[in-house]
Amino acid sequence: MSDTWPKIKARRTTKISPWLDVIEREVEFAEGEAPQLYHAVGQNDYVCIVALTPGRHIPIVRQYRPAVEAFTWELPAGLVEDGEDPAECCRRELLEETGYPARAIHPIGTAYPCTGRLSNRLHSFFVETGERSENFRPEPGLTVRLVSAAELAQIITSGALSSQLHIGAVLQAILRSFLPLSP
């Protein structure tokens, strides 16, 4: 293929909710060939946070996820608001979900969550936290748990923390030597 192909012949975005668009693209792969329709989910970028508290624990959160109709254990995470810097979103989401303020934020990777269906990016961070806010109260329906690196490994291998995006962030933290491979 040359640099001039494929070509986007048309693009249409349908807003489904404040958090989701469906993007339809008409793609022509070669001159004279019939265009093909492709659909993608459009969302704001997403942040995923591997945090380590002063006590060397990793906060994880449990919440109900309607998409999978189940409670899941996850890392603190969330969507970047329009115009918001991903690192500031990281700071905000960590504090909102766990009560821990960010003392030092280290970007550990930016990637596409799914190049076949999603148009947003995932920004992963490793965060060294301060002490938990004394007046922190979890959001309704959200449970916060502090685990060691070894416990996190067990939670992942058991399938209880099953988001590949979050498992990828843990791997990024390990590969960049922020988290140990063993306790």
pLDDT tens sequence across 88-103: 999 999 999 999 999 9
> Are both 37 and 75 inside the same structural domain?
no
> Are both 65 and 25 inside the same structural domain?
no
pLDDT at 6 over 80: yes
Structure-block tokens of residue 52? 């380590």
> Are both 81 and 149 inside the same structural domain?
yes
> Are both 132 and 90 inside the same structural domain?
yes
Give the pLDDT confidence of 7-36 residue by residue, as tens digits.
999 999 999 999 899 999 999 999 889 999
**How far is 26 from 12, CA to CA, in rounded Å?**
9
> Are both 37 and 95 inside the same structural domain?
no
| Residue 28 Cα distances to 24, 56, 126, 154, 175, angstroms | 13, 52, 41, 47, 39
> Are both 22 and 112 inside the same structural domain?
no
- Domain range for 25 is 7-42
> Are both 36 and 54 inside the same structural domain?
no
